[in-house]
Amino acid sequence: MKKLLFISILLVLAIYVFRETVYKPYLWKKAMETPEHRLQLGSFVFSKQRDENGNSGTAKKYFVFKVTEITGDYVRFSIVRKLSDKGNIKSSDFSMPRETYRSFKRDIKKVTVTGILREDLNKEGGHTVNDYLLNKYPSLKKSHYYYEVIPKDEENIKYPKEYFNLIYSKEKIIEKRKLIPYTITENDIPELARHLSQRVCVILN
């Protein structure tokens, strides 16, 4: 009886390891070849990460990113956020509630997410719903979700020390299904922060 139980446990473990190390990576790479899930400019990248939550243990945080630039192995993200109501600015790491995150995955093609220039976000209260933004970006009247658009002179990642933020490795996303960021060394050279990684759940176009 014990021998049968032991063999059963080994079989379950073998199936689990095969699924995680072979089958799931195969499905991921196959999906990346389709128009719906290919990593490209404008893609929405869904990710979740574990966060130490004090004495409550480990909680999950949910993020949605917009791909705003791809240069070589560098992929620049912008976090999808929601404008605060005027006079009610909330401090946040811009993670989403789980249900909102799931709703985005189901209905991403129906949700209006507006690209707003960084310089505009800091006008009339900063990161809030205001007349200036509503007039310049009428799509905000449908939805207050947005992503930050960087100025043209910061594109192409020409000056890493100044503008290197939310830059991830394209290769690691495709091959490892992970968000591994680039950081700047003391010599102003970009390198992968291999000790930092965040799992990609799905990419949607």
Amino acid 153: pLDDT: 72
Start-to-end CA distance of the chain, whole Å, equals 52
Same domain membership, residue 145 and residue 65: yes
CA dihedral over 191, 194, 198, 200, signed as positive or negative = positive
pLDDT tens-digit profile of 89-135?
A: 665 668 888 999 999 999 998 999 999 998 888 887 677 888 899 99
Q: Worst-scoring range by mean pLDDT, 5-14, 31-40, 59-68, 189-198?
A: 5-14
Q: What's the DSSP call for residue 181?
A: B
Question: What range defines the domain where residue 134 resides?
Answer: 38-204
Query: What's the rounded mean pLDDT across residues 166-189?
Result: 88
Same domain membership, residue 100 and residue 61: yes
Beta bridge partners of 66: 44, 78
CB 202 within 8 A of CB 64: no
Question: Between β-strands 167-169 and 178-179, what pairing exists: parallel, antiparallel or unpaired?
Answer: unpaired
Same domain membership, residue 51 and residue 20: no
Confidence (pTM): 0.84
Average predicted confidence (pLDDT) for the chain: 83
Q: Tell me which residue of 118, 122, 130 sits closest to 78, measured CA to CA.
A: 118
CB 146 within 8 A of CB 115: yes
Same domain membership, residue 52 and residue 20: no
Same domain membership, residue 126 and residue 142: yes
As a whole number of angstroms, the distance between CA 42 and CA 69 comes to 8
Look at residue 139 and tell me whether its pLDDT is greater than 90: yes
Amino acid 7: pLDDT: 75
Same domain membership, residue 172 and residue 77: yes
Q: Which residue has the tokens 């809030």?
A: 128
Q: Which tokens is 123 given?
A: 């006008």
Same domain membership, residue 67 and residue 167: yes
Same domain membership, residue 180 and residue 79: yes
What contacts 205, CB < 8 A, 6 or more positions away?
35, 36, 37, 38, 40, 42, 43, 44
Same domain membership, residue 12 and residue 66: no
Look at residue 36 and tell me whether its pLDDT is greater than 80: yes
Look at residue 55 and tell me whether its pLDDT is greater than 50: no
Same domain membership, residue 42 and residue 26: no
As a whole number of angstroms, the distance between CA 76 and CA 158 comes to 13
Look at residue 154 and tell me whether its pLDDT is greater than 80: no
Percent of the chain at pLDDT above 90? 39
Amino acid 67: pLDDT: 95
Amino acid 58: pLDDT: 58
Question: Between β-strands 58-71 and 74-79, what pairing exists: parallel, antiparallel or unpaired?
Answer: antiparallel
pLDDT tens-digit profile of 14-35?
A: 777 777 777 777 788 888 889 8
Query: What's the rounded mean pLDDT across residues 143-154?
Result: 85
Same domain membership, residue 7 and residue 51: no
Query: What's the rounded mean pLDDT across residues 169-182?
Result: 92
Same domain membership, residue 171 and residue 106: yes
